[in-house]
Structure 1
């Protein structure tokens, strides 16, 4: 398996040295390795096939629980002990990676119904179906934390509400991210004749509309980070990635021409839509990108990672700038025909992202 974090310098033998906390083998990290390997295959990077085979074997042997239809969370360094926790964050990124892996196998000439490719789309749909059903049962707010038998642990991290990876309550940005991933999967299912287990379009729209209830949810501009399951804000700081996933969800829902939202109305987009300026998704796309330009862009190529409740740069949850991929993806998505996952879409439409 793959270590979660490494020291900057190799050991005396030239081999990588894991950090003290980085020896754990996590589904979250292994999802990103699968995503990287899939992108490498599509890009024709040397030895990407070696990496893809290695990470696929680890997913198959340790992390994927076929009986549950979801991923186990984490293991000790030698895989002898499994953490008695299950979470949808790691599973969400496994959906993302599985869709990319499906595309990567197709790019190698493997048929969509060949098990080598089909298993990845099957896994994405299995996880999506579980989470989408769960969201519908909870007014389109997604419980994040479970025991090893997939029972919801409602009070998980009640005493550490702003935990970096496992915050208490419902995470607004994840609702938007799940909505986008559901739209990707829906398009791919339709294209390759795979039956979608439920109405992904409606559920994605429901997740989007519920998330909008948290826009200016405490009276200030922007999305709050987390809420309880009645919608009251818990952690009110603004994270750049939540806004980015809002942009991505707009592109995705527009891309599938989503309709028949199960909850809510047009709200702030009412006048815009009635004036025939565009759909509610284009309204919110313009609104979110304007917010990003006003508050989140530090300077060209750099985004503030976190803002406080008054939209000033802050580091109470995250220090520094630990990732930029959410911003990069949300800027790529509007340039591409919506459907295949991002790497495959870039490969198939290279002129869309030039200049």
Structure 2
């Protein structure tokens, strides 16, 4: 695999830093345990309590199941039952036993989305790597739904969403759902041993990043019509949408950069050709996000969104953006050995330690205002373990295989 030696003083080889990452992961996990409800996992408030209207949601159930499987694989006691609870939830009330696929939440409503179904596949693959009962059947069903309804061989990408009975398709294509499709496909390739998933991930990356993002200075184009014509003004009247915001989203540039490097490494491990644009575009994505989003409004931190002139639109600082920035820096540092990425890696973690990590109430603040004070205009509470937990795990591992498989082989 193509990697370069790390600098001798890199935090990635510093025992104290690696111990700190491990300790932070151990601090995050207990907070998330309180999210368990009868039908899955639900959102927590800022103090780690279930909200008054708590209901099992597919996004939290899949992400928590994935994270708890990672904890179990590391030998952290007490998380096996939580993985099993997640599997049961995904085979229970959250599953549409009539039409197939999974509901948005336990009210059994909403459209069937590629974004959420990618997380079902990720959770199932992690549970399978952990050897949990019921995971194999769940994984087979997740793959069947992805291949039957979402994957488009003609487009080389995922369709976005459908009505509950699959009869009506949304005339939209999204980068976010396809990005998490790449993440899921990397995990599926590892647990199934089928490199077809890597070829599919490569096709998605080529379309969305090597064609569209690279042509815009490596700013990720998020929104398209069903014919893959870009929609640059999409959600101009709803600019702070948590899943489909207007403009470009620097956090996704970081996330894509990391995933391209994971894909390169996975292809090489499988003995397949890894095109040079994977690392070139990863560099470009990271550079554009740092240049345009860091201190973009004159204050420290990474802004949530930018317009097409690289000017800040939504100036909130979100924890997942910060988590992906540090994970991308670590991936590029491991891939290239270049000190630039070491400097960014340290910079991002220092900012996280000062502003996001909540040592009083636990977990991380999910949102800060432009003055870096805790806020809740986009993401109230602390419902998400996934981004922060992966951020403390990824720097400790090689770029391939994916997280669950890597821990299963240790």
**TM-score of Structure 1 vs Structure 2, range by shorter chain:** 0.7 to 0.9
Write the distance in 2 (CA, Å) between the matches of 1:147 and 1:310: 36
Q: Who is 1:308 aligned against?
A: 369
Structure 2 residue runs of 5 or longer lacking an equivalent are 1-39, 43-53, 58-91, 95-104
**Structure 1 residue 193, shift from structure 2 partner:** 1.9
**Structure 1 residue 44, shift from structure 2 partner:** 0.6
Q: Who is 1:244 aligned against?
A: 323
Whether the aligned pair in 2 keeps the contact of 1:236 and 1:308 (CA below 8 Å) is: yes
Q: 1:105 aligns with which of 192, 203, 218?
A: 192
Matched, 1:60 2:137: no
List aligned pairs for 1:182-261, cutoff 5 A. 182-213=260-291, 214-257=293-336
**Structure 1 residue 257, shift from structure 2 partner:** 1.4
Q: 2:398 aligns with which of 303, 321, 337?
A: 337
Superimposed CA distance per residue, residues 75-118 of structure 1 (whole angstroms, 9 cap, x where no aligned partner): 11111111111101000000000000001113xxxxxxxxxx12
**Structure 1 residue 8, shift from structure 2 partner:** 4.9
Q: Who is 1:110 aligned against?
A: none
- SS at the partner of 1:338? coil
**Structure 1 residue 21, shift from structure 2 partner:** 7.9
Q: Who is 1:320 aligned against?
A: 381
**Structure 1 residue 198, shift from structure 2 partner:** 4.5
Write the distance in 2 (CA, Å) between the matches of 1:307 and 1:4: 25
**Structure 1 residue 337, shift from structure 2 partner:** 2.6
Whether the aligned pair in 1 keeps the contact of 2:152 and 2:159 (CA below 8 Å) is: yes
- SS at the partner of 2:143? helix
Write the distance in 1 (CA, Å) between the matches of 2:109 and 2:115: 12
Matched, 1:85 2:146: no
- SS at the partner of 2:260? helix
Matched, 1:165 2:243: yes
Q: Who is 1:119 aligned against?
A: 196
Q: Using structure 1 for the length normalisation, give the TM-score.
A: 0.84
Write the distance in 2 (CA, Å) between the matches of 1:346 and 1:190: 20
- SS at the partner of 2:331? helix
Q: Using structure 2 for the length normalisation, give the TM-score.
A: 0.73
**Structure 1 residue 322, shift from structure 2 partner:** 2.4
Whether the aligned pair in 2 keeps the contact of 1:129 and 1:198 (CA below 8 Å) is: no
Q: Who is 1:180 aligned against?
A: 258
Aligned residues: 314
Q: Which has the higher contact order (CA 8 A, sep 6+)?
A: 2
Whether the aligned pair in 1 keeps the contact of 2:113 and 2:160 (CA below 8 Å) is: yes
Write the distance in 2 (CA, Å) between the matches of 1:250 and 1:50: 36
**In 2 relative to 1, CA 51–19 (structure 1 residues): closer, same or farther, beyond 3 Å?**
closer
Whether the aligned pair in 2 keeps the contact of 1:125 and 1:197 (CA below 8 Å) is: no
> Runs ≥4 in structure 1, deviation > 4 angstroms?
3-9, 17-21
Write the distance in 1 (CA, Å) between the matches of 2:153 and 2:275: 17
